[in-house]
Amino acid sequence: MKASWVVAAIAAVVVAPGARAGCPPAGWDEAALATLRSTRFELPDEARRTGLARSLLDCLSDPRPQLRDETAFEALAAWMRAGLLPASQLDAMRIDLLERLRADDPNGFGRPFAALVLAELARVDRLKPYLSASGRESMLRAAVAYERDVRDYRGFDATEGWRHGVAHGADWLLQLALNPALDRDALSDIVAAVATQVAPAGEHFYVYGESERLARPVFFAARRALHDAGFWRAWLTALSSPAPLSEWAEAYKSQAGLARKHNTQAFVQVLYVMVRESGDDALIQRLQPGLLAALKALP
């Protein structure tokens, strides 16, 4: 009797709502998922596809890159981009992933890959709106908070693959910046969040393309022309300030200073090239004065 009670209790925990089912999902093994991957995630059975999409969320925190990145993320992105997941499921995934951003993430994969899938969800909403105004606002607040709060700057590992938290957050902010349903204040919040990660405190040098990814939401926010040249000059002036150093010459005296110089320069240079090569004369007029001033301020 006691043994039966224990078994029943364990079963109840396993099927409890919100419980993590594990990875690979029930009914699938790594070989079956590899086969699915080889077909570019073709799964005509709608019920099977939507069920697997729900289950693959648990693989986003898996330390195996083949399951986390090459299967879970790529499958979800492929199905969303093909319009193969219903709006009700997209919104349920959004809620689930926002919860995962607040959960423990001991291996450092869960939050960055939740952010990356949320970027895809934001992309769907941009192209074919399914979120309510309050849902979109919740998405914006979460994206801004996520990017601002990233402190794990690990990029690529030859065994474990990517974490790339800052870049994934920037991708999420990019999709929101492109959304015409978001107004000037929302864009101001997006570029403010980016500014917090352009040159983070400490000795971390960006070497995995983070500066390029951070520049993209700023570029497309600026392209929407909701802020004038004065706004961008002030934003870039603050960004290129040496603070907490008293002057940029001090950067050469510490690793933290060198990292700040390197990361700030990389971002401003990338954004300058993007603007100059855009062919958008109005955008160039808005941003070029501030960008040139920032470049001249940097050593």
Length of the chain: 299
Average pLDDT, stretch 261-266?
Answer: 98
Q: What is the pLDDT of residues 131-182, one digit of tens each?
A: 999 999 999 999 999 999 999 999 999 999 999 999 999 999 999 999 999 9
Question: Whole-angstrom Cα distance, residue 284 to residue 278?
Answer: 8
Where does the pLDDT of residue 21 fall: very low under 50, low under 70, confident under 90, or very high at 90 and above? low
Predicted pLDDT at 89: 97
48 is a domain residue: no
Where does the pLDDT of residue 6 fall: very low under 50, low under 70, confident under 90, or very high at 90 and above? very low
34 is a domain residue: no
7 is a domain residue: no
Q: What is the pLDDT of residues 41-70, one digit of tens each?
A: 999 999 999 999 999 999 999 999 999 999
Where does the pLDDT of residue 2 fall: very low under 50, low under 70, confident under 90, or very high at 90 and above? very low
Q: Which of 17-21, 71-75, 292-296 has the lowest mean pLDDT?
A: 17-21
217 is a domain residue: yes
Question: What is the domain extent for residue 166?
Answer: 86-297
170 is a domain residue: yes
Quote the number of domains for the chain.
Answer: 1
Contacts of 242-246 spanning 24+ positions with Cβ under 8 A: none
285 is a domain residue: yes
